[in-house]
Amino acid sequence: MRREDLYQQAKESLCDVGVERFNEAHRELLYHILLLQEHLEAVLTLDDQTLDWKLVDQSIDFLETYTLEHLKAEEVLMVASHYAGYAEHKAEHEKLIVDFLEIKGRIMASRKKEDVSELKDFLLGWLFKHTSCTDMEYKGKLDLSLV
């Protein structure tokens, strides 16, 4: 299936967390995870040495920056809204960052396609699980006048 079709289909499964700016960020993250997958598929026929790692690295860097910005934006709004579940939610964000950086470090060090594939599966799984469970817990409890 083409990335665009895959994206259109998968984004319907993303939950509405009650803050449109965050819904948009979740869709953006989904789009870029699928883009990373596409970069990977485009080079599947190449071996690890001849693979163009520049595109993969750019994709990972974008995902890292965008993810950090999104997590921070959620945390700022949770604090400003005196959200009771903040500490627990932030801990889950921090675990994501640690795991993300661990896999990224492995990719940089060993340059193996399997690790990129693992990162893509990990991010996709995390996005759907975190947004449909943890993010949904703040729905209706954040101060939308501060967005």
Q: Which two tokens stand for residue 8?
A: 């259109």
Q: Which residues contact 31 (CB under 8 A, 6 or more apart)?
A: 7
Contact window for Fe ion (CB under 5 A) among 61-69, 98-106, 118-126, 135-143:
135-143
Per rule CB under 5 A, is residue 78 in the interface with Fe ion? no
Closest contact distance (angstroms) between CB of 62 and Fe ion is: 17
Q: How far apart are CA 60 and CA 121, in angstroms?
A: 13
Q: Does 142 bind Fe ion (CB under 5 A)?
A: no
Interface residue with Fe ion among 29, 51, 135, 142 (CB under 5 A) is 135
Nearer to Fe ion, 117 or 134 (CB): 134
**Helix residue ranges per DSSP H, 12-52:** 20-42
* Total length of the chain: 147
Q: Evaluate whether 40 touches 17 at the Cβ level (below 8 Å).
A: no
- CB nearer to Fe ion: pick between 3 and 72: 72
Nearer to Fe ion, 115 or 135 (CB): 135
Instruction: Assess 115 for contact with Fe ion (CB under 5 A).
Output: no
- CB nearer Fe ion, residue 101 or residue 133: 133
Is the torsion defined by CA of 28, 31, 35, 36 positive or negative?
positive
Tokens at 12, concatenated: 């319907």
Q: What share of the chain is helix, strand, coil (3-state, %, to 5)?
A: 75, 0, 25
Q: Among residues 74, 78, 104, 126, which is the contact residue for Fe ion, using CB under 5 A? A: 74
> How many residues at the interface with Fe ion, by CB under 5 A?
2
Site residues (vs Fe ion, CB under 5 A): 74, 135
